Amino acid sequence: METVEKIKQQIAENPILLYMKGSPKLPSCGFSSQASQALMSCGQAFAYVDILQNPEIRAELPKYADWPTFPQLWVEGELVGGCDIILEMFQKGELQELINEVAARHPAPEAE
């Protein structure tokens, strides 16, 4: 699968998706850490892609998204933005509202 197709598939399959450096529990940069902390404090599950483990996505996503930096938060197929936008939305309460609305529309599959 081509990288752009892989990116499109990830965005389509995950209503809340964070492209970041590292993982939410072990972020590899301060911006990714702040962004994932804000998302985690919304209390809803979200998917993430560690771009350090996926160099082809790291190379292609900025061109596809027309957004040069990481992290990148995608919600229901739309690019929300990077760390500054995520934190600003979080401080205003907008991020929590958005994430909770999306989570309500896309209930997580029940764990077995």
Question: Annotated binding site for [2Fe-2S] cluster: which residue ranges?
Answer: 29
**Comparing C-alpha atoms, which of 74, 77, 73 is closest to residue 35?**
73
Structure-derived torsion over alpha carbons of residues 16, 95, 57, 76, reported in degrees to the nearest 10:
40
> Binding site: residue ranges?
21, 29, 58, 70, 83-84
> Binding site for glutathione: residue ranges?
21, 58, 70, 83-84
Element housing 28 (H / E): none
Element housing 87 (H / E): helix 83-92
